């Protein structure tokens, strides 16, 4: 039941990606319309038919996606922008009700994951479908508008949209190759596993430091959790949910401290024409360091 439903949801995602593919191919004014169209088409195939085709073929498609990206053939392209006049008119009319679909999405997905056997993923899928139908009813949008907004949103997400899934994939490849156990062995040579407090401090600090170096907490998470989080904290009896959640947010403390996270720390400097390239980071540093220490404490108390 759950697997059938999940497969249906993946087919729906594949369908949306196919729309993005069609519209990317049609965006002939963009020099990269072929590459971008191919990118979305491959993803559409993987999502819609992945359960029925050989994994090796999917692997090959991912290599093609990597190549497309390497040669800069995946771009957002030209999107139809939101019509500000219609948005303003609609805002006048709907007021606070415009938030209703988002609220319903959250409530439906939480209810399904809490009170049914279907689990969180199905909850999100059903919540998304219900809230979309509600949004259509609320805005009385014609099919054409729904189509246009859907393909606009998917295309604007672009290649970064599949980065989380790719990183999770990398984590799985690391596990298959035994990278986690090997690094754990190396680190265990320096720091003995077994002390709860030392494990927690090591994991949180490593998350923050690696995130600061890479500028991306998601990438650090797959690597550091396999290498340190699991052997030094979870294998010592730490609660998986607490360790993983606080591990990620410890990584965010690193994001707050690094010029590598350009999206968050350099973008505003450019946007607001600030003089000090590090200005935002200086405002963030006290809170980031304080939160990092507090999270170590929280993890130590809540996980064991």
Partner 1 sequence: MEYLKLLGIAVIVIGFALKWDTTAVVVVAAIVTGVLSGMSVPDLLSTLGKSFLDNRMVSLFFLTLPMIGLVESHGLKEVAVSAIQKLKKATPGRILNLYLIVREVTNVFGISLSGQVQFVRPLIQPMVQAAASVEKKLTKKDVELTKARSAAVDNFGNFFAQNLFVASGSVLLISSTMKSLGHAVQPIEIVTASIPVAILTLILVGIYNLLFDRHFKGKASKHDKKEE
Query: What is the C-alpha radius of gyration for the chain, rounded to an integer number of angstroms?
Result: 22
Among residues 110 and 188, whose Cβ is nearest to partner 1? Answer: 110
Judging by beta carbons within 10 Å of its beta carbon (0-12, 13-18, 19+), is residue 25 exposed, middle or buried?
Answer: middle
* Nearer Cβ to partner 1 (27/124): 124
As measured in angstroms, the least distance from the Cβ of 276 to partner 1 is 6
Q: How far is the CB of 78 from partner 1 (least distance, A)?
A: 16
| Residue 256 C-beta: closest distance to partner 1, Å | 6
Q: Shortest distance, CB of residue 176 to partner 1, whole angstroms?
A: 5
Which is closer to partner 1, CB of 1 or CB of 63?
A: 63
Nearest to 99 by CA among 17, 107, 163: 107
| Three-class DSSP category at 270 | helix
Among candidate residues 175, 216, 155, the one with its CA nearest the CA of residue 33: 155
Distance (Å, rounded) from C-alpha 237 to C-alpha 107? 32
Q: What is the DSSP string of 84-120?
A: HHHHHHHHHHHGGGGGHHHHHHHHHHHHHHHHSSS-H
CA atoms of 79 and 149, how far apart (whole Å): 10
Q: By C-beta, is 24 or 249 nearer to partner 1?
A: 249
Q: Which element (helix H / strand E) includes 164? A: helix 163-177
Is the Cβ–Cβ distance between 150 and 19 less than 8 Å?
yes
- Pick between residue 83 and residue 195 the one whose CB is nearest to partner 1: 83
CB contact at 8 A, 264 and 255: yes
Residues 6+ apart with CB under 8 A from 60: none
Nearest approach, Cβ of residue 195 and partner 1 (Å)? 20
End-to-end CA distance of the chain: 35
Instruction: Quote the least distance from Cβ 1 to partner 1, whole Å.
Output: 16
CB-nearer residue toward partner 1: 102 or 195: 102
Residues in CB range of 284: below 8 A, 6 or more apart: 256, 257, 265
> Judged by CB, which is closer to partner 1: 77, or 215?
215
Q: How far is the CB of 291 from partner 1 (least distance, A)?
A: 7
CB 127 within 8 A of CB 48: no
Nearer to partner 1, 156 or 195 (CB): 156
Closest contact distance (angstroms) between CB of 33 and partner 1 is 18
């Amino acid at each position: 039941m759950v697997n059938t439903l999940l497969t249906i949801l993946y087919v729906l995602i594949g369908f949306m990606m196919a729309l993005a593919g069609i519209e990317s191919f049609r965006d002939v004014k963009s020099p990269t319309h072929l590459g971008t169209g191919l990118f979305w088409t491959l993803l559409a195939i993987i999502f819609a038919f992945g359960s029925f085709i050989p994994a090796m073929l999917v692997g090959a498609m991912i290599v093609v996606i990597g190549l497309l990206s390497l040669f800069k053939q995946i771009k957002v392209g030209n999107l139809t922008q939101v019509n500000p006049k219609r948005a303003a008119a609609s805002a006048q009319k709907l007021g606070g009700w415009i938030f209703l679909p988002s609220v319903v999405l959250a409530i439906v997905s939480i209810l399904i994951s809490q009170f049914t056997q279907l689990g969180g993923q199905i909850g999100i899928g059903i919540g998304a479908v219900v809230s979309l139908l509600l949004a259509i009813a609320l805005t009385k949008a014609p099919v054409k508008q729904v189509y246009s907004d859907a393909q606009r949103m998917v295309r604007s997400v672009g290649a970064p949209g599949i980065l989380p899934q790719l990183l999770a994939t990398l984590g799985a490849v690391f596990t298959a190759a035994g990278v986690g156990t090997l690094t754990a062995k190396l680190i265990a040579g320096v720091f003995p596993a077994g002390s709860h407090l030392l494990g927690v401090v090591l994991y949180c600090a490593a998350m923050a430091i690696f995130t600061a170096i890479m500028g991306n907490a998601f990438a650090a998470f797959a690597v550091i959790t396999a290498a340190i989080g699991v052997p030094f904290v979870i294998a010592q009896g730490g609660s998986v949910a607490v360790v993983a959640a606080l591990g990620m947010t410890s990584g965010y403390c690193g994001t707050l401290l690094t010029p590598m996270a350009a999206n968050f720390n350099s973008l505003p400097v450019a946007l607001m024409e600030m003089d000090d390239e590090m200005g935002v980071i200086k405002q963030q540093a006290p809170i980031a360091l304080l939160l990092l220490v507090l999270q170590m404490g929280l993890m130590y108390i809540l996980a064991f």
